[in-house]
Amino acid sequence: MRVLLIEDDTVLGAGVRDQIKAEGHSVDWVMRLDEAKEYMASASYDLVLLDLMLPDGRGLPFLRELRKRGDVTPVIILTALDQISDRIDGLNAGADDYMVKPFDLSELSARLAAVARRYTGNPNPLVVLGDLEIDLAAKAVRRQGKILPLTAREWVLFEGFVQHPGQILSKAQLEERLYAFDTEVESNTIEVHISRMRKKLGREKIETVRGMGYRLGEA
């Protein structure tokens, strides 16, 4: 997933950023709402982590504006405001989840994954694709009970296909998923990874749509 983190606390922000990256996701971190608006105007995000008290304003009006213009990007609020009324306001404004600081980073990871599954039509972390059983929570793929050894990069790419069943993912979209590894993405990187994944999973599992990209196969 590509995540936008909007948080002005440098210590917490660094911790959250590192946790998300360790999970194999790509994350952009901004500390102001005006920066967040610029980032969201120029890139597509799978999830937003939103603090409510920022140097240039409150997070709730920002969230309400997102929903008002039809943006359905999942949003998890991260805030020190712990009153029930604050939680109700956040959820009513369109948040998908609400976490009160301080929180455990492993719990954040679990909630992030749960929200992502809801939005991709896979509320159950176990997905069956032909002869493959995919455990989204454990980041594992099995065939007849045997784990198939996907690398971290291969898993990030395959997870993208599972989260967007039937959709064509362009080469650029797949490259974005690899930015979390802080390594240069060469021109043939996606082709190389797709080839290796097909050898492990089965060639029919990832289809090539000529001139457009790749999508998850039906088999």
CATH number of this structure's domain 126-216, picked from the four choices 1.10.10.10, 3.40.50.720, 3.30.420.40, 1.10.580.10: 1.10.10.10
Sign of CA dihedral 84, 89, 91, 92: positive
Asked if residue 32 lies in contact with residue 55, where contact means CB atoms within 8 angstroms, the answer is yes
pTM > 0.75: yes or no:
no
Q: Where in the chain is the domain with CATH 1.10.10.10?
A: 126-216
User: Domain 2-119, CATH 3.40.47.10 — does that match?
Assistant: no
- Say if CB 93 and CB 81 are below 8 A apart: no
Beta strands 206-209 and 213-216 are: antiparallel
Find, among 138, 151, 207, the residue nearest to 181 by Cα.
151
pLDDT digits (tens, 9 = 90+) for 58-72: 999 999 999 988 888
Reported as type and span, the H/E element at residue 76 is strand 75-79
pLDDT digits (tens, 9 = 90+) for 142-181: 998 899 999 888 988 898 888 777 889 898 888 877 766 6
- Greater model confidence, 190 or 123: 190
Structure tokens at 131: 């002869």
Residues of the chain with CATH 3.40.50.2300: 2-119
